[in-house]
Structure 1
Amino acid sequence: MPKTSALNAIKTPISQDSAKLEEKIQTLTLPIKGMTCASCSNRLERVLSKQFGIIQSQVNLALEQAHIHFNPKLISTQAIYQLITQAGFTVPMETLDFNIDGMTCTACTVRLEKVLDRLSGVSKVAIHLATEKAMITAPTGVLSSDTVITAVQQAGFTAKPLLSVADREAQEKAQTSAKDRYELRQLQLAALLTFPLTLPMLMMPFGIHIDLAPWIQFLLATPVQFWIGRHFYVGAYKSLRGGIGNMDVLVSLGTSAAWGLSTWNILISSNDYLYFEASAMVITLVLLGRRLEGRAKRSAASAIRALMALRPATAQIERAGKIITIPAEQVVTDDIVLVRPGEHIPVDGVIIEGSSQLDESMITGESLPVARGKGEAITGGSVNGEGLLRIQATTVGAESTLARIIQLVENAQSSKAPVQKLVDQVTHIFVPVVVTIAFLTFAGWWLLEGSTETAFKAAISVLVIACPCALGLATPTALMVGTGTAARHGILIRDAIALERAQNSDTVVFDKTGTLTEGQPAVDLVLPVEDSAETLLQLVASAQQGSEHPLAKAVLAKAQGMALSPPQNFRNFPGKGFSTQIQERTILVGNRRLMEENQIDISLLQAQAATFEKTGHTIIWVAEINSPSRLLGILTATDPIKAVTSQAISSLQSRGLTVVMLTGDNSGAAQAVADKIGIKQVIAEVLPEDKTNQIQTLQAQGRRVIMVGDGVNDAPALATADVGMAMGTGTDVAMETAGIILMRGDPSLVTAALSISRATYQKIRQNLFWAFVYNILAIPLAAFGMLNPVVAGAAMAMSSVSVVSNSLLLRRWQPKLI
């Protein structure tokens, strides 16, 4: 993967006012605590979206995150935090401590405080001149040390974190572990108190009758209801204060009604209808369900944790002739890093000494180790094999390949599939509808049978069996697991829209050079008209100096060792070639079209060129356009077809997809390659600016088009296609434009990308079907008195677990070997 800085996706021209607005928009991804079901995430999203200054918001229940686009000129981050708090949720905060060097007076602290306060996400900044320390409060995980260090340096100071990334991750892990232990103790205590209440029901099938005294039932159920179950009341209160009900409202209503009526019957000495076991059992089962759901959600997010685990905590660098160990995040560009056998590469860099086999499987999905030697670029997160390496750091921190991959996967997991809009509409009215059904159920049974016991049981069952959680988790959990699994195999899916379009596509368009072929052509013949082959090669190589075009590299490789003259007055003709001046001679180098446009007579070599083209050769025409203009000769080059290309094309065609080759190469060479690999439709000799038009022509025919490319020239076509797929061996422009990035230059990954996209969407459909059908069937069954409250509570608790567990099955997905 190229190590140049990432470029923005190519966009269509916009007005100056729109451009200024886009410059002001910031993006904030916040952790959110307190969401228990889809109603919560839907309500928070509506609250945020209505706020002036917030352009767009997406709230993800499975990830417990809010992705917010806002204008900082119109609303501050602090106001956003307050808005979330007023809606009944919390944004967990952390404090980052730094040592600051270079402050000399109070003016320094004021200036630095203003700089840090402008960083996205910062809630509070405190600078202490006497202790030379800075304390920055921000949402957990939002602000990186690299961002702070860079901002401090730009302000004219230096900063060093008191805690490394590894220490902070250890702290977070300890806090999560402590919370997990607390929740487990609460569940165990609830189960311990509930078990005696369930004994009469459990022993009844065996003919054993156990009667617990009413006051003992009261003493056992009350702590479960109001101490262990207190967070249901807190959640319900916050939800109702925000203007809409959630799952906590349903659980609180159902269990409170059961406990309240039972307590009333004790007070009036009527012990016939006691439902303490129902209220306690429902709370215990819901707690169990949420614990299992939480474990499943953490498992679903394992892909991100696995990627983060690739970053080593420390790095060994050479400074002042000594090898020192520092936190990996403190490595800066151009540092010399020492990597011993078996260690993770801490940063992107170039090998300046040594060679080794690197395990890049977690980055590219390539299972076999890759040989790397002096002068080659390597990716941070790879595992060094048997060699000792000295590496010069090139990109570090947020700009590193691994950091960008993690960011891309996180963005994909937090995106919303189009089908989620329907789910949001349903969950918005879900709780009021369920409460209404419960009321009607009670009224119906009471009026028809006159039995308050039957009416009461049926109403409680309706309240506790209804489950908006399964609806809310159906789509995001499948996206989490699907995009994470894809990333493990070298397929980076940018968002849910790209995933949906990919699984629905019917046409795949491939660029030729570097996508179907190796992208490393070699010159195999130099055919001059008058001069010697050596003179012609020397002239063309002189003209190609400094070019990064694959054909230019092939010419320069062929001319290695020759004395070359410097080119002057270079002029490029995109998709055709170029002209330049070599020692008073104006040289034209390019394709047949360029020669024809300049009225160059090519008849002398036309027949021979056509013969070479039919065998797959690319022809480089060379002419001199001084008076008089004349043809100097041709060079032929071949670009080897990738070993798996034919099988990849066959695999796509066997799935019913139409495969098209789109290339700027001559039609003869393009057709020769197409015949070898089995592509039937070829669009050749297309200028870079016309590739977009060709994609639009296919779309006008009703086709849903995937464009696969790797170069700068492919970027507009990638953006125009329904889904753009960029090879990871290509340019940053192509990768930033594409909806799906293939981390290896392997055409078979296109088939794999389509496979995981379809598998993920199939899971989304299965989850939504189950979630909708569950509620459609379960609520009427409960209303008709066919389910008691305990069974209803168990079913509700397990419904969410079943949806998440079904999504986890995607982790078994493996690309078919070609």
Structure 2
Amino acid sequence: MDNVEYVLPVSGLRCMSCVARLEKVLHQLPDVATAQVDLMAKQMHLQLNNAEALSGVIAAVEAAGFQVVQPMVETDEPAATEKLAATPQTAASQPTTIQPAAIQTTAIPSVTRQGAAPVDEEPFWPVLLALLLSLPLLLPMLVMPFGFDWMLSPLWQWLLATPVQFWLGARFYRGAFYALKNRSGNMDLLVALGTSAAYGLSVWHWLSAPAGHSGHAELYFESAALVLSFVLLGKYLEQRAKTQTRSALQALAELQPAQARVWQGDSAGWQLLALTQVRAGMHLQVKPGERIALDGVVLSGRSQVDEALVSGESLPLLKEVGSKLRSGALNLDGVLEYQASSALHDSQLQQLIRQVEQAQLQKAPVQQWVDRIAAVFVPVVLVIALLTLLGHGFYSGDWAVAILNAVAVLVIACPCALGLATPAALVVGLGQAARHGILLKNAAVLDQASQLQLLAFDKTGTLTQGMPQISARQIFTAQAEAELFSIACALQQHSEHPLAKAFRLDASAALPVITGFQVIAGVGVAATLTSNDQRWQLGSAQLLQAAGLTLPADLQSHDGSQVFLIQLDPQPQLVAVFWLQDQIRPDSAAAVQLLQAQGYQLALLSGDNARTVAQVADALGIADYHSAMTPAAKLEYLQQAQQRGRKVAMVGDGINDAPALAQADLGIALASGTEVAAAVAGIQLLDGDLRKVAAALDIARATRRVIWQNLGWAFGFNLLAIPAAALGYLSPVIAGGAMALSSVLVVSNALRLKRWTPQLALAKGQQ
């Protein structure tokens, strides 16, 4: 049986040490094929050898100290029980939604578990209560330098500190217990050890103080209580910030309405159905102001549709009969009826969301050595804390101060900022790119995009529009040009040849009626006009030879393929010649200029003839161009460039580009191209705007830059703060506040990426 995939919410994930511990537990289970834990989304992504193993996996996870929101299947299709995934939680009022996972292609409807609480939602009341209980312990210390003695009695200090320590701080003891049980360390262990030492020392001094001696000066209840309060506050602020980082992805999910208006037959008419009940092939309707529920093709109607939030297309697009619709787009001014081309699970919007989630889950290359450091970080900190305790104790003889210094080391070293540095930036950067029609498929793209030197472009369908258009025409009879063109369009209306599309694009609404349509294989088409019973032909120069005609002496010279219109009755004569040419895309010149201005070297690789390729290259200003290239030749070109030590990206759209896209250090595919090209590329431009090649590289570089900034802060903070705490320059209270601030700072730095837009990136590139 094939592997089945689950994406399940998990509570109890506090830091990267927790992630490492849970992944270690999962990898030890025999039925787990792969396991990844997402700290930001609080999810575990599993592939199991069989569906029956899920209950055992959940039991092992909970035995390790984490809680799993288990799926409850409520569907009319048995397949849904085999593969379920939970969506990220973003708001306390929303239920947990179980949806199909992304890897398998079987269409499975969504399943909803009502009433499930969001995972690890940080409530504010424990933070507020902890601060209120700690405040009476802190105030006397603040006013003491001014000559006021408001110090509470040891009993009152104990009464205020104990609920904070063992009730509001119970989560840290639970986490520490399971960490020790699994022979690992985490942030909870550091906090629990540090605050317990301060609390225990205070109780010992209080109870062992001589009669009549209050022992106020040797009580540290306020340190333990305030450290816990600051850590709780930091976790709350951190969770709030992390929730904001996922808002871009949530905004995409909210573009898809929950219901669709479906035609149920003459007796029932239009009815609203839940989107999970709508299948491909159904007849749907969307009114002005509503969002398009599923991908489809327009059957009737005409309307402007805003796809800005789906594909990044800035201007509304006219949709009419035959036009394709994207799920999530906004219908503006007309009623459209369309046939659904996909069910919910297979819609472009849902696929985009799943791809972005998978990319956010993946770890950037830099995260690999961060994980290795995090695995040994807690044991090293414990050793440093022990050395701090023994060193200060034996050197000064003041073991109370030694314990406080050791507590400060434990608290300041909590590796939250280190664990959040990479995933926070990935979630924001990749989510923001997706909102603007740029899909970064994995975290490795960030490093690849930052090292590029050469960008190689395919021509047809990438730099050009990919379909021939009529670029010139010449008439040889007295008949009106419009009439002759109308006849040519009528002859091509039933042809499947690529050149026929150019005539159909320019055809008027009313065409002459023809009969006896005939395809002349490899040459052209023929038909008879019913109005005058005349026989006409349209095609290549071979038709001229067959009809005994020659090229006129005054034939003009134009670039492109020639198509000849011949009237056979009452006698053969050439009446018109049309030139068809693949036009350069309107955005190609701007994209090339922008990339050249940013210092990239560009190359044009095409299978087209030398003259056509040279014309396109000259028009765009690309000096390095190659024609008549097979897929193997493109592949060889890239390999030779890589052997010279150059980092290369390939930009393409077709099946013939797939080998080169896979060989390149970074493949960039246009969504208007083939699925094969999109599958092997690291970046996909969902609206096909070539200018977004520069924007995609910019957001990749910006995200990588934020990751390094975060790591620099997290490592720098610990490298400076731990020695300071070990030397006695930081109190536990200051250490707790600084640790919490460090985590929030890292996430806030990642949130700066939310201001990124393609327009800002392009404007920056033009400066």
TM-score, length of structure 2 as denominator length: 0.84
Q: Which letter does structure 2 place at the counterpart of 1:453?
A: A
CA distance in 2, matches of 1:554, 1:501: 39
Please list every run of 5 or more consecutive structure 2 residues that lacks an aligned counterpart in the other structure.
87-94, 476-480, 528-538, 543-549, 566-575
| Shift in alpha-carbon separation, 1:511–1:184, aligned structure 2, 3 A | same
Aligned with 2:17 (options 39, 46, 49): 39
Q: Which residue of 1 aligns with 2:310?
A: 363
Deviation at 1:695, TM superposition (A): 2.3
Please list every run of 5 or more consecutive structure 1 residues that lacks an aligned counterpart in the other structure.
1-22, 101-111, 123-138, 153-158, 571-577, 584-588, 596-603, 623-632
| Shift in alpha-carbon separation, 1:492–1:146, aligned structure 2, 3 A | closer
Aligned with 2:56 (options 79, 85, 89): 79
Moved more, 468-477 or 25-34: 25-34
Deviation at 1:210, TM superposition (A): 1.7
Query: What secondary structure, in the 3-state scheme, does the structure 2 residue paired with 1:95 have?
Result: coil
Taking only aligned residues, the RMSD between alpha carbons, in angstroms, comes to 3.8
CA distance in 2, matches of 1:748, 1:357: 24
Deviation at 1:648, TM superposition (A): 1.3
Q: Which residue of 1 aligns with 2:8?
A: 30
Deviation at 1:721, TM superposition (A): 1.4
Q: Which residue of 2 aligns with 1:16?
A: none
Task: Answer whether contact 2:412 2:725 (CA < 8 A) is retained.
Answer: yes
CA distance in 2, matches of 1:67, 1:543: 53
Deviation at 1:254, TM superposition (A): 0.3
Aligned with 2:68 (options 71, 88, 91): 91
Deviation at 1:543, TM superposition (A): 11
CA distance in 2, matches of 1:194, 1:89: 29
Deviation at 1:246, TM superposition (A): 0.3
| Shift in alpha-carbon separation, 1:53–1:704, aligned structure 2, 3 A | farther
| Shift in alpha-carbon separation, 1:521–1:419, aligned structure 2, 3 A | same
CA distance in 1, matches of 2:402, 2:516: 96
Q: Deviations over 1:383-435 (max 9, x none)?
A: 11121222221212111111111111111111111111111111111111101
Aligned with 1:508 (options 424, 440, 455): 455
Q: Which residue of 1 aligns with 2:133?
A: 193
Q: Which residue of 2 aligns with 1:458?
A: 405
Deviation at 1:580, TM superposition (A): 10
Q: Which residue of 2 aligns with 1:66?
A: 44
Q: Which letter does structure 2 place at the counterpart of 1:301?
A: R
CA distance in 2, matches of 1:381, 1:556: 30
Task: Answer whether contact 1:710 1:730 (CA < 8 A) is retained.
Answer: yes
Q: Does 1:318 align with 2:296?
A: no
Aligned with 2:124 (options 184, 209, 214): 184
Task: Answer whether contact 1:88 1:241 (CA < 8 A) is retained.
Answer: no
| Shift in alpha-carbon separation, 1:749–1:188, aligned structure 2, 3 A | same
Moved more, 51-60 or 430-439: 51-60
Q: Which letter does structure 2 place at the counterpart of 1:801?
A: V
CA distance in 2, matches of 1:770, 1:341: 49
Taking the TM superposition and a 5 Å limit, the aligned residue runs for 1:378-777 are 378-524=325-471, 547=496, 549=498, 551=499, 553-554=501-502, 612=558, 617=560, 636-777=579-720
Q: Which residue of 2 aligns with 1:280?
A: 225
Q: Deviations over 1:45-66 (max 9, x none)?
A: 2332344343433222112122
Task: Answer whether contact 1:77 1:120 (CA < 8 A) is retained.
Answer: no
CA distance in 2, matches of 1:510, 1:610: 32
Deviation at 1:454, TM superposition (A): 2.2
| Shift in alpha-carbon separation, 1:558–1:783, aligned structure 2, 3 A | closer
CA distance in 1, matches of 2:331, 2:562: 42
| Shift in alpha-carbon separation, 1:723–1:635, aligned structure 2, 3 A | farther
Q: Deviations over 1:467-496 (max 9, x none)?
A: 211111110110000001101111011110
Query: What secondary structure, in the 3-state scheme, does the structure 1 residue paired with 2:124 have?
Result: helix
Aligned with 1:231 (options 148, 162, 171): 171
Deviation at 1:191, TM superposition (A): 1.0
Deviation at 1:735, TM superposition (A): 1.6
CA distance in 2, matches of 1:499, 1:475: 12
Q: Which residue of 1 aligns with 2:240?
A: 295
Deviation at 1:197, TM superposition (A): 0.5
Q: Which residue of 2 aligns with 1:803?
A: 746
Deviation at 1:743, TM superposition (A): 1.1
| Shift in alpha-carbon separation, 1:731–1:205, aligned structure 2, 3 A | farther
Query: What secondary structure, in the 3-state scheme, does the structure 1 residue paired with 2:460 have?
Result: coil
CA distance in 1, matches of 2:706, 2:103: 38
Query: What secondary structure, in the 3-state scheme, does the structure 1 residue paired with 2:289 have?
Result: coil
CA distance in 1, matches of 2:427, 2:364: 12
Q: Which residue of 1 aligns with 2:250?
A: 305
CA distance in 2, matches of 1:286, 1:402: 39
Q: Which letter does structure 2 place at the counterpart of 1:644?
A: D
Q: Which residue of 1 aligns with 2:89?
A: none
Moved more, 708-717 or 437-446: 708-717
CA distance in 1, matches of 2:55, 2:161: 42
Deviation at 1:523, TM superposition (A): 3.6
CA distance in 1, matches of 2:454, 2:327: 35
Q: Which letter does structure 2 place at the counterpart of 1:439?
A: L
Moved more, 671-680 or 696-705: 696-705
CA distance in 1, matches of 2:7, 2:562: 51
Task: Answer whether contact 1:510 1:707 (CA < 8 A) is retained.
Answer: yes
Moved more, 202-211 or 34-43: 202-211
Taking the TM superposition and a 5 Å limit, the aligned residue runs for 1:44-193 are 44-72=22-50, 76-98=53-75, 117-119=81-83, 141-144=97-100, 171=115, 175-176=117-118, 180=121, 183-193=123-133
| Shift in alpha-carbon separation, 1:438–1:218, aligned structure 2, 3 A | same
Task: Answer whether contact 2:304 2:317 (CA < 8 A) is retained.
Answer: yes
CA distance in 2, matches of 1:442, 1:565: 96
Task: Answer whether contact 2:5 2:83 (CA < 8 A) is retained.
Answer: no
CA distance in 2, matches of 1:750, 1:705: 14
Query: What secondary structure, in the 3-state scheme, does the structure 2 residue paired with 1:341 have?
Result: coil
CA distance in 2, matches of 1:763, 1:264: 47
Deviation at 1:120, TM superposition (A): 5.5
Task: Answer whether contact 1:442 1:456 (CA < 8 A) is retained.
Answer: yes
Q: Which letter does structure 2 place at the counterpart of 1:506?
A: Q
Task: Answer whether contact 1:338 1:388 (CA < 8 A) is retained.
Answer: yes
CA distance in 2, matches of 1:145, 1:724: 25
Query: What secondary structure, in the 3-state scheme, does the structure 2 residue paired with 1:24 have?
Result: coil
Task: Answer whether contact 1:543 1:567 (CA < 8 A) is retained.
Answer: no
TM-score, length of structure 1 as denominator length: 0.79
CA distance in 1, matches of 2:635, 2:69: 46
Q: Which residue of 1 aligns with 2:206?
A: 266
| Shift in alpha-carbon separation, 1:787–1:216, aligned structure 2, 3 A | same
Q: Which letter does structure 2 place at the counterpart of 1:300?
A: T
CA distance in 2, matches of 1:147, 1:449: 62
Query: What secondary structure, in the 3-state scheme, does the structure 2 residue paired with 1:501 have?
Result: helix
Task: Answer whether contact 1:609 1:619 (CA < 8 A) is retained.
Answer: no
Query: What secondary structure, in the 3-state scheme, does the structure 2 residue paired with 1:338 have?
Result: strand
Query: What secondary structure, in the 3-state scheme, does the structure 2 residue paired with 1:653 have?
Result: helix
CA distance in 2, matches of 1:743, 1:440: 56
Query: What secondary structure, in the 3-state scheme, does the structure 2 residue paired with 1:521 have?
Result: strand
Deviation at 1:439, TM superposition (A): 0.4
Deviation at 1:306, TM superposition (A): 0.2
CA distance in 2, matches of 1:739, 1:384: 31
Deviation at 1:347, TM superposition (A): 1.2
CA distance in 2, matches of 1:608, 1:306: 61
Task: Answer whether contact 1:65 1:414 (CA < 8 A) is retained.
Answer: no
Task: Answer whether contact 1:314 1:327 (CA < 8 A) is retained.
Answer: yes
The alignment-based identity, stated in percent, is: 42
Query: What secondary structure, in the 3-state scheme, does the structure 2 residue paired with 1:76 have?
Result: helix
Task: Answer whether contact 1:278 1:789 (CA < 8 A) is retained.
Answer: yes
CA distance in 1, matches of 2:591, 2:630: 26
Deviation at 1:538, TM superposition (A): 11
Deviation at 1:198, TM superposition (A): 0.4
Task: Answer whether contact 1:88 1:242 (CA < 8 A) is retained.
Answer: no
